[in-house]
Amino acid sequence: MTASDAPLDLVRSQVDRAIREFLDRQRPIFADPHVAVLLAAAEDFLAGGKRLRPAFCHWGWRAAGGGDEPALHTAAASLELLQASALIHDDVMDASDVRRGMPSAHRRFERMHLESGWHGSAKQFGEGTAVLLGNLLLVWSGEMWRTSGLAPEAMAAAQPVHDDMLTELMCGQYLDLLEQARGDSTFDSALRVALFKSGKYSVERPLRLGLVLAARAQPAWIDRLCVQYGQQVGIAFQLRDDILGVFGDPAETGKPAGDDLREGKRTMLIARTLAAASPSQAEAVRDLLGDPALDAEGVQRLRTVIEETGALTACEDMIKRYLDDALHALEQAPIEQSARTALAALAVAATTRRT
Amino acid sequence: MTASDAPLDLVRSQVDRAIREFLDRQRPIFADPHVAVLLAAAEDFLAGGKRLRPAFCHWGWRAAGGGDEPALHTAAASLELLQASALIHDDVMDASDVRRGMPSAHRRFERMHLESGWHGSAKQFGEGTAVLLGNLLLVWSGEMWRTSGLAPEAMAAAQPVHDDMLTELMCGQYLDLLEQARGDSTFDSALRVALFKSGKYSVERPLRLGLVLAARAQPAWIDRLCVQYGQQVGIAFQLRDDILGVFGDPAETGKPAGDDLREGKRTMLIARTLAAASPSQAEAVRDLLGDPALDAEGVQRLRTVIEETGALTACEDMIKRYLDDALHALEQAPIEQSARTALAALAVAATTRRT
C-alpha cells in the first residue's frame, strides 16, 4: 500500500500500544517458563498484521461522531487478536508452512519439539500447541474487547454484532473448507464464501462495531452504509485476496507463490476460469488444482490458464465495480468529511493491496 | 455414580433446558443447510456430559446465599459448552477416535467427507471442521455466560475469575501436551498438570464463579473454601480421571480401554509407577507407554505393572486424603447446611465416579 495507507498508519500505533498493554496484563499468568513460550509466540505473531480490521472499526466510530478515545483503540485492537487466532487455526487446517514470511505457528512448535529431542510426534505436538495458541488468542480477543473501558451502553449496543461476527466467522471458515471438499466452483458458491469468510468478518462487522459503539443504535443509514459500502468492500477485499493467493509476490505476501492453488481453494477466480475454460484448459485445472506437490511450473501453467480464460481480468473488473459501488454509497452517507475521506482511502487500500 | 448423584440430578434438567434455549437462539444463523451440520454436531455432543462443572457453580451460588434463579442456571450451563469445546479440541490433538461411546467430532466429519465422496483429505477435513466446531462452542460458552441475565454487579465481580479460567485452561492443556512430549514423570510435574488442567478448571473455578456471583465479592472464607475444598477436590477428580484412563470400563467411560496408555499421558499414576518400579518394570513402561498401536495384551501388562508397584493403591490413597481434607475444609465454611451437604456429595461423586 502507498499513499492511501494514511488511515491505516493513523490507527497502527494506537493498536500496537493497546496490544502491548493487554499482553502485559497477561504476563503474570505466564511466569512459569514452561508456558511462557505461548505468550512469546502470541507476541511474535501479533507484531505482524495490517491492522485492517481495527482501522475499519476506528473509522466507523469516527464516522458516527466518536471522538479521540483510547478505549476505542483497545476495543478495535481486539479484532487483531481475533484475526491472529483465525490465521493460526487456518494454517493448521490447511497445513500451511509459512505465514507473514515466517514459519507458521504449528511449524514453530514442531521445530521446538524436534530441537528438544522430545518424545512422540513433533507434528502432532506442533498442531496441538497451535490449536491452543489460537484458542488463547480467541478468548483474549473477547476479554480485550469487553475490558476496553468503553461505556456500558455503547458495549450493550455493539455486543450482539460482536457475538454474531464470531459465529459467522466459524461458519464462514467451515463453508470455505466445505467448498474446497465439494470442489464447488459456481459463481454463487464462490460469492457466498467471499461474503461469509471475509466480506462480513473483515470489513462489514468491524465497521459496524465502530459505528454502533459511537451511535449506540443502528439507524437505517448505518445499516445502509454497512451493506452498501462494508459488504461490497469486504467482497472486493476477498477477491483481491484470491488474486494474491495465485499471482502474489511471496516477498510481499509473506506466503509461498501459488499457495491457494496447492490448497485447491475454490475462489471466484477459479469459478470464472472453469466457466470460460476450453476442454484442455479445464483438464489442466482438474489435474493441477489442489495438488499439494504442485511445483513452480504447475503454478505457472495454472496462472496462464487463469489469465487466458479472461478470469483474472473479470475478477479485476469485479473488484473495480464493487469498489465503485462502495465509494458511491459512501458519498451518500451522512457522515463527517474526515471519516468519509479515510473510509474511501481504506477501501482503496484494502482492495488494491499487494500484501 | 449412585446415591451421591442427587446434587447433580437437581442441576441437570435446568442445565439441559438452558442449553436447549441457547442453541435455539443460534438456529437462525444456521438456516443454510450447508452449515446446519455444525449446529447438529454441537447439539449431539452437548446431549452427553456429566454437568459436573455447572453443578459446582450452582452449589457455589447456593453456598453463598444465592436463591433459585434461572439466570444462574444459564451462566452455570455455559461451562458445559466450554467443556465440550475442550474435549472436541482434545480429541483432535490426541487423535482420539471415540468420545462418550460415539465417534469423536473429527471422526464424525471425516466420515461425512468419505461418505460424500468429496475431494482432498478426509482426515484433514474432519480435523479442520472439529477445530471450528470447538471454536464455535468456545465463543458460544462466552456468549451464553455473558447473556445469562444475571445482575451486572454480579457479572462484574465474577468476570475476572472467568477470564483467568479460560487462560489457565489453555495453559493447562499445553502443560499436558508438554509433559507428554518431555516424558516428565516427577510427582511435582504430574501434580502441576493435575492442578492446572483439571483442579482449577473443573472444580475450583466453577465453584468460585458461583460463590462470587452470589457474594459479589471474594471474602477470605470464599478464597479458603475454593483453595482448601475446590482445589483438593479438583486434584482428586483428575487423579480419578487418570485411574479411569487406565483401568476404566469402556462401557462406562465411553472411551477405549487404556486410552491414556496409548497416548502416553504422564500422570501421577505413571510417576508413582516409575518411582517404585524394578528395572524390568521400568523397561516395560518405557517400551509400552505412548505406543499408539498398544493392544489389549500391552494394556494388561502395563496395568499389572502399575498395580504391582503399588502406584494404583498410592493414587487411591491420595484421592482419599485429598477428599478428606476437602470435606474437612467444607465443615469449617460458614455456608448454609443444604449447600454443605450437596457439596460434600458432589465431592464424593466427582472423585469416586466410574465414568
pLDDT one-digit tens code per residue, B265-276:
889 999 999 999
- If you average pLDDT over residues A59-86, what whole number do you get? 97
Q: How many domains does chain A have?
A: 1
Q: Residue A142: what residue type? A: G
Nearest to B146, CA basis, from A166, A198, A76:
A166
Q: Could you give the ipTM of this predicted complex?
A: 0.94
What is the helix, strand, coil percentage profile of chain B, to 5? Answer: 80, 0, 20
Residue labelled with grid coordinates 452427553:
B48
In terms of CA atoms, which chain B residue is nearest residue A91? Answer: B128
Nearest to A177 among B29, B116, B129 (CB): B129
Chain A touched by B142 (CB under 8 Å): yes
How many Cα atoms within 13 Å fall on the side-chain side of residue A217? 4
Q: Quick one: which of A317, A333, A298 has its CA closest to A228? A: A333
DSSP letter (8 states) at residue B119: S
Left (φ > 0), alpha (ψ -120 to 50) or beta: where does B290 sit? left
- Asked whether A46 and A144 are in contact (CB, 8 A), the reply is no
DSSP labels, A237-265: HHHHHHHHHHH--HHHHSS-TTHHHHHT-
CB contact under 8 A, B132 and A177: yes
A contacts of B29 (beta carbons < 8 Å)? 164, 167-168, 171
Q: Would you state the cell numbers that stand for residue A157, as one nine-digit string?
A: 449496543
On average, the pLDDT of chain B sits at 94
Nearest CA in chain A to B125: A177
A2 confidence band (pLDDT: 50, 70, 90): very low
pLDDT at position B209 over 50: yes
Average confidence (pLDDT) over A241-257 = 92
Report pLDDT for B3. Answer: 44
Half-sphere exposure of A147 (CA within 13 A, CB side): 17
**pLDDT grade, residue B139 (50/70/90)?**
very high
**How much is the pTM?**
0.95
Query: Is residue A192 over pLDDT 80?
Result: yes
Report pLDDT digits (tens) over B62-113.
999 999 999 999 999 999 999 999 999 999 999 999 998 899 999 999 999 9
Per-residue model confidence as pLDDT tens digits over A176-187: 999 989 987 789
| Per-residue model confidence as pLDDT tens digits over B303-316 | 999 999 999 999 99
Residues 6+ apart with CB under 8 A from B334: B221
Please indicate whether, in this complex, the C-beta atoms of B168 and A129 are within 8 angstroms of each other.
Answer: no
**Which percentage of chain B shows pLDDT scores above 70?**
99
Q: Between the CA of residue A143 and those of A26, A167, B152, what are the distances in Å?
A: 11, 17, 16
- Helix or strand run (H / E) with residue A96: none
Alpha carbon B290 to chain centroid distance? 22
Beta pairing, strands A102-103 & A98-99 = antiparallel
From A129, which residue of chain B is nearest by alpha-carbon distance?
Answer: B174
Confidence check: pLDDT of B144 > 60: yes
B 275-334: CB under 8 A from A: 290
Q: How many other CB atoms are found less than 10 A from the CB of residue B311?
A: 24
- Is B116 in contact with A182 (Cβ distance < 8 A)? yes
Q: What pLDDT is stored for residue A4 in this prediction? A: 53
Chain A residues whose CB is inside 8 A of the B167 CB are 26, 29, 136, 139-140
User: In angstroms, rounded to a whole number, what is the distance separating the alpha carbons of residues A105 and A89?
Assistant: 9
Of B149, B151, B141, residue with least CA distance to B213: B151
Q: What is the distance between the alpha carbons of residues A102 and A110, in angstroms, rounded to a whole number?
A: 14
Q: Is B258 left (phi over 0), alpha (psi -120 to 50) or beta?
A: left
Smallest CA–CA distance from B92 into chain A, residue: A128
What single letter denotes the amino acid at residue A289? Answer: L
| Confidence band for B1, pLDDT divided at 50, 70 and 90 | very low
A168–chain B nearest CA distance, Å = 8
> Among residues A118, A90, A96, which one has the least CA distance to residue A34?
A118
What SS3 state is found at A99?
A: strand
**Residue of A93, A171, A181 lying closest to B35 (CB–CB):** A171
Angle between helices B6-26 and B52-63 (to 10 degrees): 110
Interface of A with B in 44-73 (CB under 8 A): none
Provide the pairing of β-strand B98-99 with A102-103. Answer: unpaired
Question: Which of B93, B113, B264 is the closest to A128 by Cβ?
Answer: B93
Residue with cell 483510547: A70
Nearest CB neighbour to A178, from listed B34, B152, B181: B34
**Candidate from A29, A95, A183 with C-beta closest to B171:** A29
Helices (H), chain A: 6-26, 33-47, 52-63, 70-94, 105-116, 122-146, 152-182, 187-193, 205-215, 220-225, 232-247, 250-253, 259-263, 268-276, 279-288, 296-308, 311-332, 337-352
Q: Do A135 and B132 touch (CB under 8 A)?
A: no
Q: How does residue A237 score in pLDDT terms, banded at 50, 70 and 90?
A: very high
Interchain CB contact of B135 with A (< 8 Å): yes
**Reduced to 3 states, what is the DSSP secondary structure of residue A150?**
coil
CATH of the domain at A213: 1.10.600.10
Chain A residues close to B79, C-beta within 8 Å: none
Which pLDDT tens digit goes with each residue over B146-198? 999 999 999 999 999 999 999 999 999 999 999 989 987 789 989 988 888 78
What does the pLDDT read at residue A227? 96
Contact B16/A at CB under 8 A: no
Closest listed residue to residue B106, CA positions, set A118, A96, A108, A127: A127
CA dist B77 and B55 (Å) reads: 9
- Nearest in space to B197 (alpha carbons), one of A35, A39, A125: A35
Q: Which residues pair with B98 in a beta bridge?
A: B103
| Interhelix angle A70-94/A6-26, nearest 10 degrees | 80
Confidence of residue A337 (pLDDT cuts 50, 70, 90): very high
Q: Are B8 and B51 in contact (CB under 8 A)?
A: yes
pLDDT at A197: 79
What mean pLDDT comes out for the span A211-216? 98
| pLDDT over 70 percentage in chain A | 99
What does the block give as the cell for A316? 479485476
How many angstroms separate the CA atoms of B164 and B141, rounded? 15
pLDDT at A1: 42
Bridge partners for B103 per DSSP: B98
Dihedral sign, CA of B17, B18, B19, B23?
A: positive
Q: What per-residue confidence (pLDDT) applies to A185?
A: 77
pLDDT of B162 reads 97
Inter-chain contacts counted by CB atoms under 8 A, chains A and B? 147
Measured between CB atoms, which of B120, B163, B177 is closest to A290? B120
pLDDT at B319 over 90: yes
Option in B34, B139, B174 nearest A167 (CB): B139
Q: Mean of the per-residue pLDDT values for chain A?
A: 94
- At A3 the pLDDT is 44
Between CA A71 and CA A62 the distance in angstroms is 13
Asked if A322 contacts A232 with a C-beta cutoff of 8 angstroms, the reply is yes
The conformation of residue A98, written as its DSSP 8-state character, comes to E
Whether B226 has a pLDDT exceeding 70, the answer reads: yes
* Winning range, highest mean pLDDT, from A190-199, B139-148, B195-204: B139-148
d(CA B159, CA B161) in angstroms, rounded, equals 5
Length of chain A in terms of residues written: 355
Domain extent, residue B216, equals 3-352
Determine contact: B164 vs chain A, CB below 8 A.
yes
Give the confidence band of B4 by pLDDT, cuts at 50, 70, 90. low
Of chain B residues 69-98, which have a CB less than 8 A from chain A? 89, 92-95
List alpha helices for B48-151, DSSP H: 52-63, 70-94, 105-116, 122-146
